[in-house]
A and B are shown apart, each in its own frame.
Chain A
């Protein structure tokens, strides 16, 4: 292929990289240095780091994302593990994926109904004698719904890791005298850790930014980084501050990626 032809092929993709990947990231960083009056300033950052509200909001957001990721992981690992042992596992896996095809807002909307004053959840609580509670617009309901939405995204990478695991490793472990639990602890879990890490990546970062859930389910009681950004951009029109929080979110994202990135030096299974 001639050099020029190659370039024409690359052009649309290259333009996309420049305009929609590099430029927006650069712009959000650039914007974070401007205040409401369009003056270049560091005040957004100084406000952020000096304001107890912002710092507390960030800490809260990280804490909630951590809880969501933790619960998702605790539920998803056994699910992936058990599905992997099933006979028609491809089919069951498809059933895990199917809910992700339902628009996330519809699922959130369903929970508005389920958690409402006279909803299914409260009917159940009344039935077992606890009596109706305020469920909607609480932190717990936000965590519950977020976990619900994220579960498939955690199950998939863990399942794939289990599927990639050479069954000979399990046999070898049993052969060397390991019980089921020992085999799990020393062989299966460490070797499927990359799947767990991929799951954490897929769950933790979006959990920092789920603003529609905080609005619909959390009733604005939970403010995540995502909610704050949305509010600054679309409600208070303080794009500078919104961008600053965006930069914080990007930094958080990079930190998570570095913490959960696959360590190449461990070797892994040779291809």
Chain B
């Protein structure tokens, strides 16, 4: 009885959660031009999408920004996490963490607006470089937050043991620390990637006129009304998300299994 209620409740919630997405993708195959009545199956909107060179360039831009910013943010964030764990004073560490989290909790508009002021003051022309810098900036804290727990898990005796066995500082970093925290680094890179792909508000503020990412493009097209090419784009992006989620899930499972196997070997 109670179980039944729970199941019905969950079915409704999941239905609501997925209805808009399914709706969106379903109409990408409709022969009409509106999202009202389904007019029979067609690939037309996908053909339009793939011959829309402006859109394809924007997709390329978006992916370039995402990959580049995620890579750089992962590098800086990992170094940041390393420095945070190396701090000996509790106060210093706490304040570094607080500062780190400022961009995590700030609303997008604040980040966007303040970056806009910042870039304008430095007279940096708005465009690719400002979008890239902004993305790197708001991705760094999430990388730090993903790497830190792994660093904390690493026991001091592990480092002592490596040093005891003659590892130099550099070897310690490359042979012990980096391999150990690599799941955290991966997760951080991945989250950075999704943050970048998902961002609209910050990009909207700092993008200027010549440069556009997918979110900004969708926003301006959506303001003009229904255009089933966007539906087709949703279909492609949904597929892409599924692949990313699947990949992320697979990496997680694999690393978990590897850790488990290691534990079995140890015990």
Contact = CB atoms under 8 A, between A and B. Distances in A.
A27 B83 contact: no
Contacts of A205: 105, 107
Interface string B198-217: 10110011000000001100
Contact of A6 (B86, B108, B218): B86
Interface in B1-33: 6-7, 9-10, 13-14, 16-21, 23-24, 27
Interface in B206-257: 214-215, 218-219, 222-223, 225-226, 230, 233-234, 237-238, 241-242, 244-245, 249
Interface in A196-221: 201, 205-206, 208-209, 211-212, 215-216
A16 B222 contact: no
B113 interface: yes
A105 to B, nearest CB: 4
B35 A13 contact: no
B114 to A, nearest CB: 3
Contact of B114 (A27, A94, A234): A27
B162 to A, nearest CB: 13
B188 interface: no
Contact of A16 (B118, B140, B218, B238): B140
Given A21-B99, A103-B200, A216-B222, A243 B113 contact: yes
Contacts of A79: 9-10, 13
B114 A25 contact: yes
B12 to A, nearest CB: 10
Contacts of A259: none
A263 interface: no
B76 A12 contact: yes
Contacts of A106: 24, 218, 230, 233-234, 237
Interface residues of A, number: 80
27 contacts: A6-B86, A9-B79, A10-B79, A13-B80, A14-B83, A16-B140, A19-B118, A20-B115, A21-B100, A27-B117, A75-B13, A82-B6, A100-B198, A101-B241, A105-B219, A106-B230, A109-B24, A112-B222, A116-B34, A118-B34, A148-B20, A206-B107, A209-B201, A211-B201, A229-B113, A233-B116, A243-B117
Q: Which 9 A-B pairs have the closest CB atoms?
A: A113-B35, A13-B80, A24-B114, A209-B107, A20-B137, A110-B20, A101-B241, A10-B83, A82-B6
Interface of A: 1, 5-6, 9-10, 12-14, 16-17, 19-25, 27-28, 31, 75, 78-79, 82-83, 85-86, 92, 94-114, 116, 118-120, 123, 148, 151-152, 201, 205-206, 208-209, 211-212, 215-216, 225-226, 229-230, 233-234, 239, 242-243, 246, 249-250, 253, 257
